[in-house]
């Protein structure tokens, strides 16, 4: 599905019809400002005037502009241009895509070169030529438009995946309420909370909700909130500006901006800290946020879908999750049943995964032997659909016949309801301990990680390794 959106992109599209570009002009001489305002309005643009470096910074921090035309000197009897040069550095930090055209009555080649080195797009010497300044403005507005759009597309391209989500396979009675809810709620803009054990397909349900909505032509972006540290969380969701922190080498667009007009899927929502819960609540309530390191408030229109394997009501009762945030997230709640409650779907799911992996590994396989299918139907599937997927992939790799055999699946039968430790590999023991820790803490990954003596990221790597 093509990804295309963002306030910046929408704005540049509006420039072709009703949108009027806004130009910030800055000079300490009223007659210069008046002349610039007259020229800019004659070109069909809006003009906003300020008379100091502080005024320029305040305007750019709080409002969007398509270009800035500014003098380099503001202090009486100063001709060095140093005030404007220093200001260029600040403006680059606020918005590296904003075209800045500098002017001075005391021009020189060295000053022009230094201004361009610091981020100015062009240099005009007073008194200016109206035709040349008009041409420069038109060019720079279009260039700024292209740079902003390119910034969004570059960020979106990082999210493109080689494979599309598989279709939602569900014919069992236990899944009919889920399918019914998707058809009824999907077309709306309601925020939806998807609950269920690890591996039950919460991401697929989110994709299905998005695909039947009016936002389907816009992107759906996914963020695993449980796997992000507090510092990375803000940058990932809200973006940052150049210089906001040590590794911020350039401006970055956050997921909320990238999902403008579309859907944002927040997975493992129960595992974010109280401080980050407050920041998330604000953008859900108002649609407003700031990039890290910036004071400019931005507005987005995004539908939020979220998922968790935890009992958020219990988390609220325990003071670990904000009740007002829960109310915002679960306008509608969809509970996914575990695979053991929808065994009628196992043959269909297994056949789907078999086709998928056989094609990937270039193997010609016709299906499962009866014993293999019986083993699939009898297995408890604590890792749910994800575990089934991994079991079938293993079988595709291991089988030496046209049909998958029971032994190819690598499923260990339970003895008296549970496997014996002496019959298990080290990996199986580790997987079992992780499952028990997750059950003990109702699926809360942070608490389970602490009990196991692991970092949260280390536990997530193991969950992925074992298909949990």
Residue 125: exposed, middle, or buried by beta-carbon count in 10 A (0-12, 13-18, 19+)?
middle
pLDDT for the residue 381: 92
Residue 209 pLDDT > 90: yes
pLDDT for the residue 6: 38
CA dist 82 and 419 (Å) reads 76
CATH number of the 173-337 domain: 3.40.50.300
pLDDT band, very low/low/confident/very high, at 157 (cuts 50, 70, 90): low
Element (H, E) at 215: none
At 48, is the secondary structure helix, strand, or coil? strand
pLDDT for the residue 80: 64
Residue 420 pLDDT > 60: no
CATH number of the 418-468 domain: 1.10.10.60
- CATH homologous superfamily of 7-156 equals Response regulator (3.40.50.2300)
Same CATH fold, 173-337 and 7-156?
yes
The ranges assigned to domains in the chain are 7-156, 173-337, 339-411, 418-468
Entry pTM: 0.59
Average pLDDT across the chain, whole number: 82
CA dist 107 and 25 (Å) reads 19
List CB contacts of 307: < 8 A, sequence separation 6 or more. Answer: 193, 194, 195, 196, 202, 203, 206, 265, 266, 267, 268, 269
Picking from 122, 81, 117, the residue whose alpha carbon sits closest to that of residue 101 is 122
Average pLDDT over residues 429-442: 80
At 49, is the secondary structure helix, strand, or coil? strand
Residue 306 pLDDT > 60: yes
β-pair partners for 252:
240
269 φ, ψ (degrees, to nearest 5): -65, -20
At 444, is the secondary structure helix, strand, or coil? coil
State both tokens at 357: 């992996």
**pLDDT by residue (tens digit) across 353-369?**
999 999 999 999 989 99
pLDDT for the residue 78: 58
Q: For domain 339-411, which architecture applies?
A: Orthogonal Bundle (1.10)
Report strand pairing: 263-267 vs 220-224: parallel
At 252, is the secondary structure helix, strand, or coil? strand
191 φ, ψ (degrees, to nearest 5): -70, 140
State both tokens at 89: 């550095």
């Amino acid at each position: 599905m093509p990804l295309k959106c963002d306030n910046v992109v929408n704005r540049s599209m509006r420039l072709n019809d009703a949108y009027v570009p806004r130009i910030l002009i800055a000079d300490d001489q009223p007659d210069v400002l008046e002349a610039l305002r007259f020229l800019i309005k004659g070109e069909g643009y809006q003009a906003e005037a300020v008379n100091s470096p502080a005024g320029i910074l305040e305007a750019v921090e709080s409002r969007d502009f398509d270009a800035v035309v500014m003098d380099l000197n503001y202090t009486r009897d100063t001709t060095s241009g140093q005030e404007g040069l220093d200001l260029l550095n600040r403006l680059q930090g606020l918005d590296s895509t904003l075209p800045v055209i500098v002017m001075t009555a005391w021009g020189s080649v060295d000053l022009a070169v230094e201004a361009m080195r610091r981020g100015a797009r062009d240099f005009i010497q007073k008194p200016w030529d109206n035709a040349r300044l008009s041409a420069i403005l038109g060019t720079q507005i279009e260039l700024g438009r292209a740079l902003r759009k390119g910034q969004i597309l570059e960020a979106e391209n990082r999210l493109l995946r080689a494979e599309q989500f598989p279709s939602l396979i569900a014919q069992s009675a236990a899944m009919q309420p889920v399918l019914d809810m998707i058809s009824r709620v999907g077309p709306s803009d309601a925020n939806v909370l998807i609950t269920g054990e690890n591996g039950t397909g919460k991401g697929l349900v989110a994709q299905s909700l998005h695909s039947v909505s009016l936002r389907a032509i816009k992107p759906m972006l996914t963020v695993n909130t449980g796997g992000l540290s507090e510092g990375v969380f803000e940058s990932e969701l809200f973006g940052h500006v150049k210089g906001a922190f040590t590794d911020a080498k350039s401006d970055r667009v956050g997921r909320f901006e990238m999902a403008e007009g579309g859907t944002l899927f927040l997975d493992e929502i129960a595992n974010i800290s109280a401080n980050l819960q407050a920041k998330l609540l604000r953008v859900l309530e108002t649609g407003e946020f700031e990039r890290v390191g910036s004071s400019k408030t931005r507005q987005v229109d995004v539908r939020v879908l979220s998922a968790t394997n935890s009992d958020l009501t219990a988390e609220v009762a325990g003071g670990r999750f904000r009740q007002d945030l829960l109310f915002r997230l679960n306008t509608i709640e969809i509970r996914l049943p575990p695979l053991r409650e929808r065994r009628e779907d196992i043959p269909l799911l297994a056949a789907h995964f078999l086709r998928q992996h056989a094609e990937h590994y270039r193997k010609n396989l016709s299906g499962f032997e009866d014993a293999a299918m019986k083993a699939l139907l009898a297995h408890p599937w604590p890792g749910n659909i994800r575990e089934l997927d991994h079991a079938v992939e293993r079988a595709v790799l291991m089988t030496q016949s046209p049909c998958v055999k029971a032994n190819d699946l690598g499923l260990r039968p339970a003895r008296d309801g549970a496997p014996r430790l002496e019959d298990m590999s080290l990996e199986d023991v580790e997987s079992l301990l992780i499952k028990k820790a997750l059950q003990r803490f109702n699926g809360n990954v942070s608490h389970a990680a602490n009990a196991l003596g692991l970092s949260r990221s280390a536990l997530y790597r193991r969950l992925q390794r074992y298909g949990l």
